[in-house]
Amino acid sequence: MDELKLYTYIAVFGTFTLYFAIAWWARAASTSDFYVAGGGVTPLQNGMAIGADWMSAASFISMAGLIAFLGYGGSVFLMGWTGGYVLLAMLLAPYMRKHGKFTVPEFISDRYYSKTARIVAVICLILASLTYIIGQMKGVGVAFSRFLEVDYGLGLGIGMAVVWFYAVLGGMKGITYTQIAQYVVMIFAYTIPAVFISFQLTGNPIPQLGLGSTLADGSGVFLLDKLDQVVTELGFKEYTTSNMNGSLDMFAYTMSLMIGTAGLPHVIMRFFTVPSAQAARSSAGYALVFISLLYTVAPAVGAMARLNLMNTIEPTAGQYLEYEKRPQWFKDWEQTGLLEFEDKNADGKIQYSADPTTNEMVKVDNDIMVLANPAIANLPNWVIALVAAGGLAAALSTAAGLLLAISSSISHDLMKGVLTPDLSEKNELLAGRVVMTLAILVSGYLGLNPPGFAAGTVALAFGLAASSIFPALMMGIFSKRMSGTAAVAGMCSGIGITMLYVFQHKGIMFVPGTSFLGDMAPNWFFGISPNAFGVVGAIVNFAVAFIVLQFTGPAPKHIQALVENMRSPGGTGAISAH
């Protein structure tokens, strides 16, 4: 066994052993433990767990890759995902925690006094969560297939088994403490290679500062200026110039990610695990700090990875690298299918350019940039192994949160809340574990056979949450007159028009792995891409709900009193007597 594989096995299976031990120690004994970790998690612990829950495979593996190829345009992900937490902290989390229930559909059911609203919320939650989980499963398969040199399907199966053990056994309690450990693994795995590479390129070990520094070669050229020069010589757009489809699309994309973040049920559920509304608000503050430790490094990782990639494949402009002399990391990633070369002119050299007719790097998947970056930069093997463990931690932590959201929506909201209200706590706990097992099997299948409309991006999940769940929660908290019928009409309209738009344009959606967003389709609504359409769906949701409200009349007096009580500093937020 070579040194890299040995280090990788130690890092990956060492962290898995830690997760198993934590899951056994924190196994759930009640439905309260399973759904909300008993409600006794401290804000600091919850903030760290939220950070892990949020730093999914999309954040850890894909985001820096997207920034690497999109340049300035990739900032939509940073602004949207972090901005969403501000909305969550200020507008949703404290009030929903004050209400004191387990799940998002349960809150919607109480607020809108409707089992129909609860069922619609469950459907919206499952659609958003399953779409999002596809990306996590792909991350697990990619990391395993590359670093442990196993088949993609086998790697995915191992990841499913690990999640099954600690999520099914521990529920939210086990997931919470496992995610704290996963956060520590992730942040070290992400920042340590960035420190090495920043020091290599600029002489500054702080990546955030290295991004704006001059190169260490004594040329006095700034790193970003050098990157602009390298990419433009090959026909690509300037790295520091937006590659989005216009300012309106960029704004809509950012807003869709932002309100989608605030509406993602697996994130909101984390705020039910703390003892009070104030603790929920503090949790969001801690989460922003922990998330920023990675998110502020991501632009540097993306830029430096792109520069290293270009310099490796094409060391000097016009002097192409011979394919037979390609480095080992290139060969390793070719085996995964995420890096592909086609010798179009049969000269045995690698020609990489923006011209699709002559470009011989026919595939450079975004998802390889973070994972391959340490090897491209010739970092020590233990650093490469650490990145593998971090990528798996990121995918597994978010997958666990999503699976719990799906499980609780079916066992608690659909079965206990609608179909079998006399279900005992013991049987509900059993049902939750059985449903989570089934959800893991379904998500694994989707990871192996992703549907075409969702295979390319997790942005669709944010669009679905933005167009359905977020408006319902906002109106439920800040419009005491909003009725159940109006809210249901809004949710159905919002998610319906979003999915219709996505299906209509599924052939031209942005797919990670491409180096640009492409030209704007002529029939896009005001030039808004399918990935950014969630904000339009949200506007439709709000509009339909308030229009229907004019015909159905306001919510009953006791519901209006509930909302006032929930929003008042001294109120309990509990359901008042009918």
Q: Find the CATH number of the domain harbouring 475.
A: 1.20.1730.10
CA proximity to 69, closest of 387, 364, 489, 288:
364
Residue type, 423: L
What residues contact residue 150 under an 8 Å CB cut-off, 6+ apart?
Answer: 144, 158
pLDDT digits (tens, 9 = 90+) for 521-558: 556 777 777 888 889 999 999 999 999 999 988 989 99
Question: In the structure encoding, which two tokens stand for residue 387, read together?
Answer: 């990145």
- Does 353 fall in a domain? no
- Does 432 fall in a domain? yes
Q: What is the DSSP letter of 215?
A: P
Q: What is the DSSP letter of 495?
A: H
For residues 391 and 346, what is the distance between their CA atoms, to the nearest angstrom? Answer: 37
- Does 351 fall in a domain? no
Residue 541 confidence (pLDDT): 96
Q: How many residues does the chain have?
A: 578
CA proximity to 367, closest of 577, 198, 145:
145
CA proximity to 162, closest of 387, 396, 6:
396
- Does 344 fall in a domain? no
For residues 62 and 58, what is the distance between their CA atoms, to the nearest angstrom? Answer: 5
475: containing domain = 3-306+379-567
Burial of residue 200 (CB within 10 Å: 0-12, 13-18, 19+) is middle
483 phi and psi angles, rounded to 5 deg: -95, 165
pTM of the prediction? 0.81
- Give the DSSP letter string of 329-361: HHHHHHTTTSEE---TTSSSEE---S-TTT---
For residues 174 and 397, what is the distance between their CA atoms, to the nearest angstrom? Answer: 11
- Does 316 fall in a domain? no
Whether the CB-CB separation of 405 and 414 falls below 8 Å is answered with: no
Residue 462 confidence (pLDDT): 85
Q: With both helix axes pointing from N to C terminus, report the angle between 115-147 and 368-376 in degrees, rounded to the nearest 10.
A: 20
- Does 340 fall in a domain? no
List the chain pLDDT tens, one digit each, 578 residues: 578 788 888 888 888 888 888 878 877 777 777 766 667 788 898 888 888 877 777 777 778 888 888 887 778 888 888 888 788 878 887 888 777 776 788 889 889 988 899 899 888 888 888 888 877 777 777 777 777 777 778 878 887 888 787 777 777 777 888 888 888 888 998 899 999 999 999 999 999 999 989 998 888 899 999 888 888 887 888 888 765 666 787 888 889 989 988 888 777 877 878 888 788 888 888 888 888 888 889 899 989 988 888 888 766 655 777 888 888 888 888 877 778 888 888 888 888 878 888 888 878 877 778 888 888 888 888 888 888 888 878 777 777 778 878 888 888 778 877 778 787 877 877 888 888 888 888 888 887 776 654 445 567 788 888 999 999 999 999 998 999 999 999 999 999 999 888 877 654 444 333 333 444 455 677 777 788 888 999 999 999 999 999 998 898 999 999 888 887 765 444 444 33
Give the CA distances from residue 468 to residues 401, 520, 540, in Å, rounded to whole numbers and listed in that order.
20, 26, 10
Q: Which helix (H) or strand (E) holds 321?
A: strand 321-322
State how many domains the chain has: 1
> Checking DSSP bridges between strand 339-340 and strand 349-350, what pairing results, if any?
unpaired
Whether the CB-CB separation of 62 and 301 falls below 8 Å is answered with: no
Burial of residue 348 (CB within 10 Å: 0-12, 13-18, 19+) is exposed
- Does 359 fall in a domain? no
Residue 539 confidence (pLDDT): 95
Burial of residue 326 (CB within 10 Å: 0-12, 13-18, 19+) is middle
For residues 218 and 221, what is the distance between their CA atoms, to the nearest angstrom? Answer: 8
536 phi and psi angles, rounded to 5 deg: -65, -40
- Does 198 fall in a domain? yes
What residues contact residue 466 under an 8 Å CB cut-off, 6+ apart?
Answer: 255, 256, 257, 259, 260, 263, 498, 534, 535, 537, 538
Q: What is the DSSP letter of 505?
A: T
pLDDT digits (tens, 9 = 90+) for 36-49: 666 778 889 888 88
Question: In the structure encoding, which two tokens stand for residue 68, read together?
Answer: 């690497």
For residues 454 and 400, what is the distance between their CA atoms, to the nearest angstrom? Answer: 20
